[in-house]
């Protein structure tokens, strides 16, 4: 747990743009909420790697959101099942269902659908919220935290140096 907090602080204290960290967390949310073996996971991995987002934040967020999904799956199931059974959307879903590429996404699964829709709904608010919070953190708390003993230890590690070189 300490290692996770330390990793998180390291990300926050890095020189990455707040937008890159926030976007990484949002993408990881979509990937983490979705079942592991799904096309949306693969697509989020593609975006995470191709877009210049913070990779540490992406991988850290993926793990955290996957853990959170473990508890939220019943909610995803209910939302997804509700949407998949809306009479007004029946024709739309049926058309998607008969498209080979869309069938592979398993959108017709209640958890896949629910997690994806909830992720989309939360994507922009979470992005803005995180962006604002990171900026506030860096303005008001970062200098204080960097002086703490744990931050000093982290900054002295080779991993941090390597990370700086990559980001």
Partner 1 sequence: MQPTGRFHESERKMKKWIRWWGFLAFVVFVGLFVAGIFLFSGPLIAKGIEKAGTLAMGARVDVGSAHPGIFPLGLTVKGLQVTDPDAPMTNILEISDLRLGLDTQALMLGKVDIREMAVEGIRFGTPRKKSGALPEKPKEEKRKEAAPGKSLQERIPMPALQIPDVDAILARESLAALEEARALEEELRAELGSFQTRLQTLPDLRTLEGYKTRLENLKKGRGLAAIVTTARELRELKAAVDSDIRILRETQEDLGNRVTVLSGRIRALKELAAEDVRRLVAKYNISDEGLGNVTGLLLGPEWEARIRKGLWVYRKAEPWLARQAVHEKTPEPEKRVRWEGVDRVFVEAPLRPDFLVRKASLSLHIPAGDLKGSLRNATNQQALVGSPMILNLAGDGLSGMERMALEMVFNRINPAAPEEGVKAEIRGWQPQAMGTGDFSLGAEKGDLDLEMGIRSGVLSGKGRMNLTGVRFSVADSGNPMARVLTSALEEVDSLLVRADISGNLDRPEIRFSSSLDGVVRGALSRAVREARAVFQARLDEEVGLRTEGKILELENRIKALGDLDVILEERLTAARGLVF
CB of 151 to partner 1, least distance (A): 27
* 67 is a site residue for partner 1 (CB under 8 A): no
CB of 42 to partner 1, least distance (A): 8
Instruction: Map residue 39 onto helix, strand or coil.
Output: helix
Of 93 and 160, CB closest to partner 1? 93
Q: Which residues contact 167 (CB under 8 A, 6 or more apart)?
A: 14, 15, 16, 54, 55, 56
- Distance (Å) of CA 85 to CA 6, 72, 162: 44, 20, 50
Q: Which of residues 71-100 bind partner 1 (CB under 8 A)?
A: 73-74, 76-77, 80-81, 84-85, 90, 93-94, 97-98, 100
Burial class (CB in 10 A: 0-12, 13-18, 19+), 49: exposed
Q: Which two three-digit tokens encode residue 79? A: 């939302």
Of 53 and 134, CB closest to partner 1? 53
Give the residues lining the site for partner 1 (CB under 8 A): 35, 42, 45-46, 48-52, 70, 73-74, 76-77, 80-81, 84-85, 90, 93-94, 97-98, 100-101, 103-104, 106, 108-112, 114
């Amino acid at each position: 747990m300490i290692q996770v907090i330390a990793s998180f602080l390291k990300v926050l204290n890095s020189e990455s743009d707040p937008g890159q960290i926030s976007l990484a967390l949002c993408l990881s949310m979509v990937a983490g909420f979705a079942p592991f073996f799904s096309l949306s996971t693969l697509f989020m991995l593609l975006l995470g790697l191709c877009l210049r987002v913070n990779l540490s934040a992406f991988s850290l967020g993926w793990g955290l959101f996957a853990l959170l999904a473990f508890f939220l799956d019943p909610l995803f199931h209910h939302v997804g099942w509700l949407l998949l059974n809306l009479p007004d959307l029946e024709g739309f879903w049926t058309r998607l269902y008969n498209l080979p590429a869309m069938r592979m996404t398993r959108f017709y699964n209640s958890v896949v659908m629910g997690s994806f829709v909830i992720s989309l709904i939360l994507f922009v608010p979470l992005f803005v919220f995180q962006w604002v919070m990171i900026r506030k953190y860096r303005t008001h708390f970062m200098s204080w935290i960097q002086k703490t003993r744990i931050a000093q230890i982290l900054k002295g590690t080779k991993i941090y140096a390597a990370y700086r070189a990559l980001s």
